[in-house]
A and B are shown apart, each in its own frame.
Chain A
């Protein structure tokens, strides 16, 4: 079974531009989460989607947004890019089964965004 895929793997943008990152979950997984990883702040939760609805949101400005499609694929968008948005953006998916105490999140390889 294929793992979580993210595209593109690398991206270079300039300040003020906007960017869209894509994530395809493991087949059958219905929940998708996004995380930002930077050297200074570490790994931080951005948001989570299930059934095309945002379930949880981390402490990030409104410039960060996302959505999920009916096939569970997800995109995240960052508008008006700032230098501090340079990071590795990781997507994770999980099955989302009621009462499943073994379910967990599996991560993709990430998209490395550089803002110049």
Chain B
């Protein structure tokens, strides 16, 4: 069975600090997809990134970067120079190819990490 663990329940940082959100996953499938979503207080889940298991290239997008390590089953997310607007709950999610076809996703979410950025 697939599982996603976000060990950090809550994190508080002072504005402009860097922060890393951890995500560890478990899956028996050899092909799977990993995601990060952000949920601000309004409640809507905002898509941040998708990473396929066959693509281990790490990515940087502005202040955001992601570190995908298959060897440790981790998909960590770093915010550089955090801002107050980054305050939200961040979810890591996994979808196995077994439960997915093209465009079909049965996402398993972690419990989320609540990030508070203090001005």
Binding site for B on A (CB under 8 A): 30-31, 33, 35, 42-45, 48, 50, 55-56, 58, 88, 90, 92, 94-110, 112
Contacts and interface: CB of A to CB of B under 8 A. Distances in A.
A48 B104 contact: yes
A109 B105 contact: no
Interface stretch (B19-27, B36-44, B59-67, B80-88): B36-44
A96 B42 CA distance: 27
Most B C-beta atoms less than 10 A away, residue of A33, A35, A96, A104? A104
Residues of B contacting A: mostly: loop
Interface residues of B, number: 26
A109 B44 contact: yes
Interface of B: 35, 37, 42-47, 50, 52, 55, 91, 93, 99, 101-112
Which 7 A-B pairs have CB atoms at the shortest separation, nearest pair first? A96-B103, A107-B45, A43-B109, A98-B102, A109-B44, A103-B103, A94-B103
Given A45-B106, A107-B37, A56 B43 contact: no
B105 A94 contact: yes
B112 A55 contact: no
B111 A42 contact: yes
Contact of A112 (B43, B47, B103, B110): B43
B43 A48 contact: no
